Structure 1
Amino acid sequence: MPSIIDYRSDTVTRPTPAMLEAMFTAKVGDDVFGEDPSINELEQKTAALFGMEAGLFCPSGTMTNQIAIKVHTQPGDEVICDALSHIYLYEVGGIAFNSGASVRLIQGNRGRITAQQVAESINPSDVHKPVTTLVSLENTSNRGGGACYSVEEIYAIKRVCEQNQLKLHLDGARLFNALIATNEAPITYGLLFNSISICLSKGLGAPVGSVLLGNQTFIQKARRIRKVFGGGMRQAGYLAAAGIYALDYHVKRLAQDHEHTKAIAECLQKKDFVGQIMPVETNIIIFEVKGRFTPKAFVEAMEKHHIKVMAISPTQVRMVLHLDIHPLMVQLTIDAIEAL
């Protein structure tokens, strides 16, 4: 067991021995020529899982999101998303930089927007206003504490998009967490969205990579944009093999992360220095720190127990459960919190 227990993000995981073995034995080729068999298998496997036509393997979820936005929009268009969306907050202004598009921000509920809000945010046909062309959802919502959309609300948003000729994109960085929590099938999401970004390096534990999904025409255009963005890779099948392994063996185990998250949240709820805790649905805890601790002081106190957590605002701390957090670590964490 490592000496540090790290809850800063589910991106800190390391490949398991079995995943490393899959990587070491991967068959590879030149992916820019379309000749890497492991990448081809990963793209086909992920697309089939969601009932979509094709996939594109990329180094990061930021790249898959930004490629999707670029394909779906023209310069001067407008993208609708929640104000807490990763595509807006944490992708370095990429919507403006890469696509020349503006953003209509919606104040949703823990990162989730409604069909009514989308309908109210679509610009009229007016030469003074940008053309609304794309709606982007994030499931689960990172800054919403791992909040999940209901499929019924997504269906309603999809209807609004269809009625107004808008494309619908999903930032599914933690989509498998949502699927496990809501017991929904991936195929349902494939029917709802024009494009989906699937991250392999968070809850699924792969070291690198995301897959962008869509129809054949969309992915053909996306492949060209990936090349423009510098994302053309060569013998990256060693990385794709980790993604294949993750899809085969690391999806169902996400339920354990969710159980661990609830256990820690229940412990935090009893402490006098903990204020509001966002409802825990998946693998993220975001909670208010008050009174005798500040977020910074709480982070420092946990570090004395060799536990890393992250202050995400002047009043809030975030903890994220993942593949490398085992039951004993959870108990040590609970013991450390109870001792404060």
Structure 2
Amino acid sequence: MYGPLRPDPSLPPVRINLYSDTQTRPSPAMREAMLGAGVGDEQLGLDPSVNALCERVAAMLGKEAAMFLPSGAMCNSVAILTHCRPGDEIIAHETAHIIEAEGGAPWALAGARVLGLRGARGMFSADDLRAALTMPSRYAAPQVLLEIEQTANLGGGTIWPLATLRDLVGIARAAGMATHMDGARLMNAVVASGISAAAYAAPFDTVWIDFTKGLGAPLGAVLAGSADLIDRAWRWKQRLGGALRQAGICAAACLYALDHNVDRLAEDHANARDLAAGLAAIGGLNVEPPETNLVYVDVAASGRTPGDWAAALRAQGIMVSVMGATRLRLCTHLDVTGTDIIETIAAFHNLA
């Protein structure tokens, strides 16, 4: 998954980084905002920049309260630990980030197992969820949490329809379950669909957004929910070492991102569409139509492995992700230009 990232001095410098939107670097203007940030002890509620960020994100998501954390993975872990107890069961898609890319954290930290449901493009239906529910029994693990990833990364950056989310949450609530949204790329869904973050977040008990992907900050994510939930989540933040000190330097980057880097996500989506169209014209490549900023390419018919393609591209200074036995992922972001897209398509043509 994603492929190894090991320094190799024999390789040329990376010119075009399509590995992930986590590869963005803070702009000079963002660094200036960080330099001028007001700071204080975040644990004591004395950091004005962190407080401003949490208040803004809570309002944006329509929640009572929020907390600043170093990463989205920690947001997921803190939320799961707050909602679940050892032996509980979480229901998510089988390709969810909490299953595929967080080191088994739900099992290791919360002692909760995750039941992965199948479904095309990273999503499942209301009928799929109903079929997965079990009758309350002393023999069965309590099903306590429904988890949704918006957008669905391994599904191709797909956007869960709002009506589907509402249906799923309604079923989960009727079954006595809590609900959590992994909003790593929620703002991509907002920009692509025109539906507000608050509307997507409204059905869920907890939700978080990431600032290190398309929004371009060097670190940070914000978890939001009711005042009571966030108050309880703080104990887990403390236990996991997520409590910070003068974190305003980092929160300032996130505030800058909200001011300057949200609407421009549309550029990433346009670049992804152009990239997909260019690659689709190459024989042996099966390109999944992108909905946001992730372009998945199945290379099985090309006669080469994804690793072969990635290595050949890396030799030209282009970095992409290997995603399983047959797929590559190319991720557009604020450090990828239209010229980069043209060069990448040309590189694929030359290698075909």
- Is the shorter-chain TM-score for this pair beyond 0.5, marking a shared fold? yes
1:143 corresponds to 2:154: yes
Separation (CA, whole Å) in 2 of partners of 1:77 and 1:114 = 22
2:294 matched to which residue of 1? 284
The answer to which of 190-199 and 238-247 deviates more is: 190-199
Counterpart of 2:179 (choices 145, 168, 177) is 168
Report the Cα offset of residue 292 of structure 1: 4.1
**Normalized against structure 2, the TM-score is what?**
0.93
Deviations 1:215-235 (A, max 9, x none): 100000111110001111101
Report the Cα offset of residue 209 of structure 1: 0.7
* 2:237 counterpart SS class: helix
Report the Cα offset of residue 305 of structure 1: 2.5
Report the Cα offset of residue 155 of structure 1: 0.8
Question: Any unmatched runs of 5+ in structure 1?
Answer: none
* 1:212 counterpart SS class: strand
Separation (CA, whole Å) in 2 of partners of 1:297 and 1:91 = 26
Separation (CA, whole Å) in 1 of partners of 2:62 and 2:116 = 30
Counterpart of 2:74 (choices 63, 77, 83) is 63
2:92 matched to which residue of 1? 81
2:39 matched to which residue of 1? 28
Separation (CA, whole Å) in 2 of partners of 1:218 and 1:303 = 45
The 5 A counterparts of 1:1-340 are 4-274=15-285, 276-289=286-299, 290-340=301-351
* 1:110 counterpart SS class: helix
* 2:246 counterpart SS class: coil
The answer to which of 169-178 and 310-319 deviates more is: 310-319
Aligned residues: 338
Separation (CA, whole Å) in 1 of partners of 2:226 and 2:35 = 31
Aligned CA-pair RMSD: 1.2
Deviations 1:143-172 (A, max 9, x none): 111011000100101111221121110001
* 1:285 counterpart SS class: strand
Separation (CA, whole Å) in 1 of partners of 2:114 and 2:135 = 15
Given that 2:276 and 2:288 are in contact with CA atoms closer than 8 Å, whether structure 1 keeps it comes out as no
Residue 328 of structure 2 aligns to which amino acid in structure 1?
V
Return closer, same or farther for 1:292/1:126 CA change in 2, 3 Å cut-off: closer
Given that 1:144 and 1:278 are in contact with CA atoms closer than 8 Å, whether structure 2 keeps it comes out as no
Separation (CA, whole Å) in 1 of partners of 2:41 and 2:92 = 36
Deviations 1:39-95 (A, max 9, x none): 011000000011111111000101000111111112211100010000111111111
Separation (CA, whole Å) in 1 of partners of 2:143 and 2:200 = 22
Given that 2:14 and 2:314 are in contact with CA atoms closer than 8 Å, whether structure 1 keeps it comes out as no
Return closer, same or farther for 1:129/1:173 CA change in 2, 3 Å cut-off: same
Separation (CA, whole Å) in 2 of partners of 1:186 and 1:198 = 10
Report the Cα offset of residue 19 of structure 1: 0.6
Residue 249 of structure 1 aligns to which amino acid in structure 2?
H
Deviations 1:287-326 (A, max 9, x none): 1113343212211221232111122222111110011011
Given that 2:276 and 2:289 are in contact with CA atoms closer than 8 Å, whether structure 1 keeps it comes out as no
* 1:317 counterpart SS class: strand
Separation (CA, whole Å) in 2 of partners of 1:246 and 1:64 = 19
Given that 1:267 and 1:337 are in contact with CA atoms closer than 8 Å, whether structure 2 keeps it comes out as no
Residue 44 of structure 2 aligns to which amino acid in structure 1?
F
Report the Cα offset of residue 3 of structure 1: 5.7
Separation (CA, whole Å) in 2 of partners of 1:189 and 1:296 = 36
Separation (CA, whole Å) in 2 of partners of 1:46 and 1:202 = 16
Residue 27 of structure 2 aligns to which amino acid in structure 1?
T
Report the Cα offset of residue 102 of structure 1: 1.6
* 2:120 counterpart SS class: coil
Report the Cα offset of residue 109 of structure 1: 1.7
Question: Any unmatched runs of 5+ in structure 2?
Answer: 1-12
Separation (CA, whole Å) in 2 of partners of 1:119 and 1:242 = 42
The answer to which of 321-330 and 253-262 deviates more is: 321-330
Residue 280 of structure 1 aligns to which amino acid in structure 2?
P
